[in-house]
Structure 1
Amino acid sequence: MRCLLVVAITSSGFNLSKHGVLEVKSSKPGPPQQEISVEDVTALVQGFVDDAGLREGLCTVVSKHTTTGITINEFEKRLATDLRQWLLELAPPDARSVAATANPKTYLHNDIDQRPDGEAERLRCIENGWDIDDPEQLAKWRSQEPINAHSHLHAMLLGSTEAIPVAEGKLLLGQWQSIMLVDLDGPRDRLLGVSVLGFT
C-alpha cells in the first residue's frame, strides 16, 4: 500500500518552534560507578510535546552528554541486560577503570596524565572553566577525569539523537517502542535537549 501525504506550508512556515532541556534524575544516589542504565523517557518527552501544544510536526531529542545514548526500542528489563552485555563485549572497560572486567582493554583517552593532548583540547578545557595553564587547576582537572573511554565508545555506537514524528499531538511510536536514554557512565543526573517544530 502506498500513501502520499502532501503538506502545504503557508507563507509564514511552521507556526510552532520550541526548544527546552529536560532533566532525567538518577535512580541511585552517590558518585558515578560507570554503570550502564536504561531509562524510558517517552512520557517525559510526550509531556514536553503536550506543554508545547504541538499537534503535527517533529520532535527531536538529543543527549547533552558524551557518555549517554538515545535510542528507540522496546523498554524491557531483560533486553536492557542484553544491551549492557553486548556493549561491554564490544568495548570492555579499561583495566584502570572502576568498571574493569576480566577482559579489559587499554584506551588512549584514559591516559589522563598525557592530557590535554594539544591546543584544541586545552581550549575546550578553558572554555569549560578549567584554567589548565595553572598547574594546580591542571592537577584538579586530571583528578576528576574518569577512566571512561569505553563509555564514550558505547555512546558512539548508540547515537545521541532521535527524531520522532508527531501526529494529532502524539509521538508516532510503534506499539512496543519507547524513547530510551542509555546512561553509559552513571548513575548520575542527565539532561536531554528537546526541540519541536510544526503546527498547533
Structure 2
Amino acid sequence: MSDSFSTLTIELTTGTGEVALDITDRCSAFLESVAPGRDGLLNVFVPHATAGIAVIETGAGSDEDLLALLRDLVPADDRWRHRHGSPGHGRDHVLPGLVAPHATLPVVGGQLALGIWQSVVLVDTNGDNPRRTVRLSFLG
C-alpha cells in the first residue's frame, strides 16, 4: 500500500487580504517526487473552515474576477450569524460551500492532466488567519 499512496502537508502564508494563490507548482513538485511516470489521482485538500481549492485560469484576471464574484455573492458585512473575528467574517465560513475545500485531479505519466489554462488555486478570503495548511495526496 505504501507504494500506491503518498501524502505531504505544506504550510502557506496567505496574508491579511483576500487571495487566490496559485499552488500548481507545489502540486507538480510533489508529483515529481512521489509519482514519476505514474498514473493516478492527486487530491488537494485544505483543512480549514474558511478556505477552498479552485481549478481556474490565473494571471489573466480570472483569479481576481473570482475574488470579486465572491465579494458580490457573499459580502463582508453584518448579515452573518457567525460573528466572531473581524467584521463580516461569517462570510468566510460559507466560502467552502461555494469553493470546495478539495479537488481531485488526474495524474498521467507523473504530471497533472490539467487543461492548458487551468491552475490549482487556494482561495482564502479570511484575513484573520494568514497561515494555511494544504494536504497533497497521490493515489496511483
The answer to whether the aligner puts 1:82 opposite 2:65 as a matched pair is yes
Question: Who is 1:24 aligned against?
Answer: 12
Question: Who is 1:94 aligned against?
Answer: 77
Runs of 4+, deviation exceeding 3 Å: none
The answer to whether the aligner puts 1:149 opposite 2:90 as a matched pair is yes
Q: Choose from 82, 85, 88 the match for 1:109.
A: 82
Larger Rg: 1
Unaligned runs of 5+ in 2: none
Distance across 2 between alignment mates of 1:77 and 1:183: 19
Q: Choose from 152, 157, 167 the match for 2:108.
A: 167
Q: Is 1:14–1:197's contact at 8 Å kept on the other side of the alignment? A: no
Q: Deviations over 1:39-59 (max 9, x none)?
A: 110010111111113511111
The answer to whether the aligner puts 1:189 opposite 2:131 as a matched pair is yes
Distance across 1 between alignment mates of 2:122 and 2:90: 19
- TM-score, normalising length: structure 1: 0.63
Count of residue pairs the alignment pairs up: 137
Specify the code of the residue in structure 2 equivalent to 1:190. Answer: R
- Relative distance call for 1:71 and 1:49 in structure 2 (3 A) is same
Q: Is 1:60–1:162's contact at 8 Å kept on the other side of the alignment? A: yes
Shift of 1:88: 1.2
Percent identity, aligned pairs only, is 28
Q: Higher mean Cα deviation, 52-61 or 13-22?
A: 13-22
Distance across 2 between alignment mates of 1:71 and 1:159: 7
Distance across 2 between alignment mates of 1:71 and 1:191: 15
Question: Who is 2:27 aligned against?
Answer: 45
Higher strand residue share = 2
What SS does structure 1 have at the residue aligned with 2:45? strand
Unaligned runs of 5+ in 1: 1-12, 96-105, 113-144
